[in-house]
Amino acid sequence: MKNSDFWRNMENEFGSRYSHVLADSMSLTELDSLTAAEALNKGVKPKMIWEAICRAQDVPAERWLGVDIEPKDS
C-alpha cells in the first residue's frame, strides 16, 4: 500500500476532514502509541497503520481494502 492509497482509504472511510484529525490525534496502541501521522513519518508501512486504525475504529473487515477505483483510460 502506498501513502496515497492510505490517505484515499482514510478519506473514503472517515471523510476528508475527520480522517486527518484522526491521523493526527488518535494514539494507536498496536504501534507503540504513535499516531498514524507519526507512524508514517517514522517509515511504518501504511498498510500496517491502516489495519491498526481499522481495528481500533471497528471498521468492518469487508471495508479494509477500500473502494474500487476505475482504471484510467489510455
| Amino acid at site 40 | L
Give the separation between CA 49 and CA 64, rounded to whole angstroms: 12
Residues 12-55 pLDDT 10s: 999 999 999 999 999 999 999 999 999 999 999 999 999 999 99
For residue 70, pLDDT over 70 is answered with no
State in Å, rounded, how far the first CA of the chain is from the last one: 23
Average pLDDT over residues 53-61: 93
Confidence of residue 9 (pLDDT cuts 50, 70, 90): very high
Give the separation between CA 29 and CA 27, rounded to whole angstroms: 6
45 Cβ contact list (under 8 Å, min separation 6): 1
| 3-class SS of residue 62 | helix
Give the separation between CA 23 and CA 5, rounded to whole angstroms: 14
